[in-house]
């Protein structure tokens, strides 16, 4: 009687194929980063654009306003996230800001907006959409806070706000950087 030792070519190919599929799936999952990375990327983009807008208002000498459109105002609220876009004040009124595209937050990201210490109510879509806050040529900014949350991260939120110096900051990141700097100072 002859005993088989080792694997057949077919068995080896099946194992290699399974390992390849698993590795590909793991890479795809890791590269997307999940809901936390998705929300953080959206916040980072918003803060960077806001910094740019603040500089444009200073350089151009014209106020620039932020228009937010909640999902409820969109054509397909189940598949579309919050939309934001920028307009500048001209002699003809609020006009689209050239060279700055409108942006959309991921559909899973929700916002709670506070302007001048009052929560922004957005139940009914207005006929004419106008900015809810503005960046002025003087460097001033309408005081605001935007709390970001993700439907897959219950109880977790991140906040973007105007600090005491009139800068748009990501509160949690600023606090983490401050803690890191304090730790580094202790060990220097």
Residue 76 lies in a domain: yes
Indicate yes or no: pTM above 0.85: no
Minimal CA–CA distance to 104: which of 173, 172, 45?
Answer: 45
Burial of 81 (0-12, 13-18, 19+ CB in 10 A): buried
pLDDT at 16 over 90: no
Residue 52 lies in a domain: yes
Indicate the pLDDT class of residue 52, thresholds 50, 70 and 90: very high
- In the three-class reduction of DSSP (H, G, I as helix; E, B as strand; rest coil), residue 68 is classed as strand
Minimal CA–CA distance to 109: which of 78, 75, 149?
Answer: 149
Kindly state the percentage of the chain with pLDDT values over 90.
Answer: 60
Q: Could you tell me which residue, 181 or 113, shows the higher pLDDT?
A: 113
Q: Which of 2-6, 98-102, 150-154, 169-173 has the highest mean pLDDT?
A: 150-154
Residue 26 lies in a domain: no
Write out the residue range of the structural domain in which residue 167 sits.
Answer: 34-187
**What's the CA gap between 161 and 106, in Å, rounded?**
20
**What's the CA gap between 112 and 83, in Å, rounded?**
14
pLDDT at 12: 66
Task: Please state the rounded mean pLDDT for residues 84-88.
Answer: 95
Other CB atoms within a 10 A radius of the CB of residue 149 amount to 17
Residue 134 to residues 116, 121, 147, 161, 162, Cα–Cα distance (Å): 12, 17, 18, 13, 12
Residue 159 lies in a domain: yes
pLDDT at 11: 64
Residue 21 lies in a domain: no
Sign for the CA dihedral angle at 146, 169, 104, 135 comes to: positive
Q: Are strands 157-162 and 168-170 parallel, antiparallel or unpaired?
A: antiparallel
Residue 13 lies in a domain: no
pLDDT at 29: 45
Task: Please state the rounded mean pLDDT for residues 80-87.
Answer: 94
- In the three-class reduction of DSSP (H, G, I as helix; E, B as strand; rest coil), residue 154 is classed as coil
Domain CATH number, residue 107: 3.55.40.10
Total domain count for the chain?
1
What value does the mean pLDDT of the chain take?
A: 86
Residue 22 lies in a domain: no
């Amino acid at each position: 009687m002859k005993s088989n030792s080792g694997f057949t070519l077919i068995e080896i190919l099946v194992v290699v194929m399974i390992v390849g599929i698993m590795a590909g799936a793991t890479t795809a999952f890791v590269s997307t980063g999940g809901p936390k990375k998705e929300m953080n990327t959206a916040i980072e983009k918003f803060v960077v654009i806001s910094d740019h807008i603040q500089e444009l208002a200073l350089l151009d000498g014209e106020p620039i306003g932020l228009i937010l459109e909640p999902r409820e105002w969109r054509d397909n609220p189940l598949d579309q996230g919050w939309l934001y876009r920028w307009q500048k004040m001209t002699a003809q009124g609020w006009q689209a800001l050239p060279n700055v595209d409108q942006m959309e937050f991921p559909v899973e990201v929700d916002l709670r907006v506070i302007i001048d210490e009052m929560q922004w109510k957005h139940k009914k879509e207005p006929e004419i959409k106008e900015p809810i806050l503005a960046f002025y040529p003087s460097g001033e900014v309408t005081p605001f806070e935007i709390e970001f949350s993700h439907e897959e991260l219950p109880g977790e939120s991140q906040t973007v706000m105007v600090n005491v110096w009139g800068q748009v900051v990501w509160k949690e990141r600023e606090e983490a950087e401050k803690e890191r700097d304090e730790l580094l100072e202790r060990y220097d």
